[in-house]
Amino acid sequence: MSLADMVLAVNNDLPIRTDRPVHSGKVRSVYWLGEADSRRLIKEQGYDVAADAPLAIMVISDRISAFDCIWHGEGGLNGIPGKGAALNAISNHWFDLFRQQGLADSHILDTPHPLVWIVQKAQPVMIEAIGRQYLTGSMWRAYSTGVREFCGIRLPEGLEQNQQLPELLITPSTKGVLEGIPKVPEADDVNITRQDLEDNFTAFHFRHPDDIDRYETLLREGFRVISQSLAALDQIFVDTKFEFGYVTDARGQEKLIYMDEVGTPDSSRMWDGEAYRQGLVIENSKESFRQFLLNHFPDPDILLNKERMPQREALARHHALPESALMDLAKTYTDIAEKIIGKPLNLSEHPKAEIIEILDKAYGLIDAT
């Protein structure tokens, strides 16, 4: 079996019964179930959700996205072997820890296969909730040019690249294009302040002003849980993205939950602790792949300059990366996942066939036609 055969690159063509178009993102595809199938699964599986809650099958791929583009490799390698299973396993691990520590639930109801989640529909809060513990990445690039205020938070003078910050910073940005909010540009991924959230909480889809405090608490406590767990593995939790939303449980109570993924190499930076103490940064996250791309191409401005997006997309479309680079990243994903979950990953040789079989036999969701 070739490496290409083990990669689930296309995940929006499964014969899962749905009466709506499949939503296919950069990495995950979402199949919304019809009302009858949703109600049946809620009853059969005993999910703690409202009886009429819409459910979906979320299938993660092994595609690799960076700088808002999908990349591929030589020999028909259209993804990273083991990447999808690693991301799901890591997220499941952290979500379980969050529940055990009484923080909040997630949108995930079931994991039928290492690449599949059954999820409930959540009403998302329209912010990317970023927690930062070290001065690196885009924040360092801005700081090094003289910027000192980030999302309304002022940093002191004299900080150095990759230095630990005095405290965990919460630096939210917009999720999607939001219109009509004073002082907030109508563009995706715009930095916002806490004051912006307080003044326009409904525009960001918060139900109550107090939920701003709640999301910050969940972010700080979630960050703490992951950071402490990684520290025991001599890994440094540098920064991460959280997303939140609202769902209603079987008792009719609405609650704020974690959604998307958490604490993964895609949504976070993680550094090797021993190397950091020696003054080096070894990335155990997708950031290593971003750095590879910046070094691989002679003009890195194409990757960093949003105004050159058409050139960037053409670069990703027409340039097959060395297989060795993708396999190095595969090792990064699987190694950190197995450290976190404490056991080998369950990797599929025929992922698509396995997914179809289990969704058919155990859940009755495969369309016979």
Q: Please report, for the domain that includes residue 225, its CATH number.
A: 3.30.470.20
241 CB-contact burial (10 Å; exposed 0-12 / middle 13-18 / buried 19+): buried
- The H or E element containing residue 5 is helix 3-6
Provide the β-strand partners of residue 257. Answer: 245
Residues 58 and 155 grouped into a single domain: no
Total structural domains in the chain?
2
Residues 273 and 355 grouped into a single domain: no
Q: Is residue 226 part of a domain?
A: yes
Are residue 113 and residue 162 in the same domain, yes or no? no
The verdict on residue 66 lying in a domain is yes
Instruction: Mark whether 161 and 71 lie in a shared domain.
Output: no
**According to the model, what pLDDT value does residue 235 have?**
97
pLDDT at 212: 97
| 185 located within any domain | yes
pLDDT of residue 369: 60
Q: Identify the CATH number of the domain in which residue 107 sits.
A: 3.30.200.20
One domain for residues 147 and 260: yes
Residues 202, 174 share a domain: yes
Residues 265 and 146 in one domain: yes
- pTM of the predicted protein model: 0.94
Question: Is 52 exposed, middle or buried, given 0-12, 13-18 or 19+ CB atoms closer than 10 A?
Answer: exposed
Q: Give pLDDT, residue 348.
A: 84
Q: Which domain holds residue 240?
A: 126-277
Q: Residue 346's pLDDT is what?
A: 83
Are residues 53 and 142 located together in one domain of the fold? no
Which residues, other chains included, contact 140 with Cβ-Cβ below 8 Å and sequence gap of 6+?
161, 162
The answer on 131 and 115 residing in a single domain is no
Q: Is residue 302 part of a domain?
A: no
Q: Is 207 part of any domain?
A: yes
**Nearest-angstrom CA–CA distance, 94 and 118:** 17
Does 330 fall in a domain?
A: no
Which residues 6+ apart lie within 8 Å of 45 measured at CB? 109, 110
Return per-residue pLDDT of the chain as tens, 369 residues: 567 777 999 999 999 999 899 999 999 999 999 999 999 999 999 999 999 999 999 999 999 999 999 999 999 999 999 999 999 999 999 999 999 999 999 999 999 999 999 999 999 999 999 999 999 988 999 999 999 999 999 999 999 999 999 999 999 999 988 888 888 888 888 999 999 999 999 999 999 999 999 999 999 999 999 999 999 999 999 999 999 999 999 999 999 999 999 999 999 999 999 999 999 999 999 999 999 999 999 999 999 998 999 999 999 999 999 999 999 999 999 999 999 999 999 888 889 999 999 999 999 999 876
Residues 260 and 141 in one domain: yes
From 277, 301, 326, give the residue that closes a domain: 277
Structural domain includes residue 31 = yes
Q: Residues 6 or more apart from 147 whose CB is under 8 A from it?
A: none
pLDDT for 349: 84
Is the domain of 134 the same as that of 111? no
The pLDDT of residue 324 is 95
Q: Does residue 140 share a domain with residue 113?
A: no
Is 97 within the bounds of a domain? yes
Domain boundary residue, one of 277, 306, 324: 277
**What is the pLDDT, as a whole number, of residue 350?**
87
Domain-terminating residue out of 229, 261, 277: 277
In 277-348, where do the E strands start and end? Answer: 320-321
Quote the CA–CA distance of 263 and 339 in Å, as a whole number. Answer: 13
